[in-house]
Amino acid sequence: MSNKVELTKKDLYRCINRYMFTRQSPFNYETMQSGGWVYSIHPAMEKIYGDDPDLLAKKYEDHFKFYNTQPWFGNLILGACIAIESTKEPDATQTAVDMRTALMGPLAGLGDAIIFVMFATVFGAIAAYSALEGSIFGWVIAQTFGTVLWIIFYRLFFTAYKQGVEFVTSRSAQLKRLTDAAAVLGLSVVGALVVTTVKVHFGFSWTIGEVTQNLDDLVNSIIPNFANVLTVILIYFGLDIKKMTSAKMIIIVLVVAIVLSAFGILA
């Protein structure tokens, strides 16, 4: 005997469409993304538990608990969780919330690495360089790719609902491989960007007799773009300093750049 509630395509569309506009709202430091989550699962939950509002209110207490993941991968978690809730088993909500908590960390790491770090860097660089030449072509490439990826993730909500948690877990090995492969691409691009995008030059020069020697030319003849490499390495290790955040680091670099250039150490 099964209590399973069959959700229609329309119910599911209502959930995912709500989620699109509230994935990170109202973002807060207590439970982060759980507010938008509850609002998004409501069309499904209403169908499943609508005859018992008291029970539903109790279930939402659990769903309001801390939740934070990469929004695109959140689509998958949402689909799988609604699938669990639709079984209407007595411990369905407990299972769903536990699974949500178990998945949100790993998928956030994966999602940040692939969606926000890797692709954002590769396509951001292509679009930015094209823009600096006065062309929007690079941005069109980036946006086309982003839109296709966005639609894929939108569709994955339905796949995750149909196949449940197994889908998310069974694909984890494949996703791990994909992350590694994407990391290779990302790291290569970072290496290239250190050369092309970072522009740090020493302003020092000295004259011996007739010859004026520039520090920048000197070090670059040993290692090309030496000042760029040095800057990235210093910041990389600087980020390990206790209580350092990326926002603070940006302010520090901003101030250091202005001061060093005012004294002519950097050009």
Partner 1 sequence: MFSAMQVILVCLWTWLFTVTGSNVQIFTYASAVLHGMIVGLIMGDMTTGLTVGGTLCLMGLGVGGYGGSSVPDYNLGTIVGTVFAIGTGQGMEAGLAVGVPVAALGTEFDIIAKMCGSFFLHGEMRVAARKEFNKLGIFPHGYNVFRATLYTLPVLLVMTVGSGIITSLLAAMPEWLTKGLNTAAGMLPAVGFAILMKYLPVREYGIFIVFGFACAAYLGLSMVAISLFALIFAFVIYRQLEIKDNAGSVVAAGANGEDYDE
Residues numbered 33-92 forming contacts with partner 1, rule: CB under 8 A: 34-36, 38-39, 42, 46, 53-54, 56-57, 60-61, 64, 68, 71-72
Q: How many CB atoms lie within 10 A of CB 222?
A: 7
- What torsion do the CA atoms of 67, 69, 71, 74 make, to the nearest 10 degrees? -80
Looking at the Cβ atoms of 94 and 251, the one nearer to partner 1 is 251
The closest of 16, 178, 20, 32 to 81, measured between CA atoms, is 16
Sign of CA dihedral 213, 214, 217, 218: positive
Looking at the Cβ atoms of 191 and 213, the one nearer to partner 1 is 191
Rule CB under 8 A: choose which of 73, 119, 157, 202 binds partner 1: 119
Question: If binding is defined by CB under 8 A, does position 138 make contact with partner 1?
Answer: yes
User: What three-state secondary structure class fits 67?
Assistant: strand
Q: Classify the phi-psi angles of 136: left when phi > 0, otherwise alpha if psi is within -120 to 50, otherwise beta.
A: alpha
Give the binding-site size for partner 1 (rule: CB under 8 A).
115
Rounded to 5 degrees, what angle do the CA atoms 66, 27, 128 make? Answer: 125
Question: If binding is defined by CB under 8 A, does position 224 make contact with partner 1?
Answer: yes
Stretch that binds partner 1, among 2-10, 83-91, 93-101, 177-185 (CB under 8 A): 177-185
DSSP state of 113: I
Question: If binding is defined by CB under 8 A, does position 127 make contact with partner 1?
Answer: yes
Rule CB under 8 A: choose which of 87, 95, 101, 130 binds partner 1: 130
Q: Classify the phi-psi angles of 104: left when phi > 0, otherwise alpha if psi is within -120 to 50, otherwise beta.
A: alpha
Stretch that binds partner 1, among 3-11, 82-90, 206-214, 220-228 (CB under 8 A): 220-228
Rule CB under 8 A: choose which of 5, 20, 215, 218 binds partner 1: 20
Question: If binding is defined by CB under 8 A, does position 244 make contact with partner 1?
Answer: no
Rule CB under 8 A: choose which of 32, 215, 218, 219 binds partner 1: 32
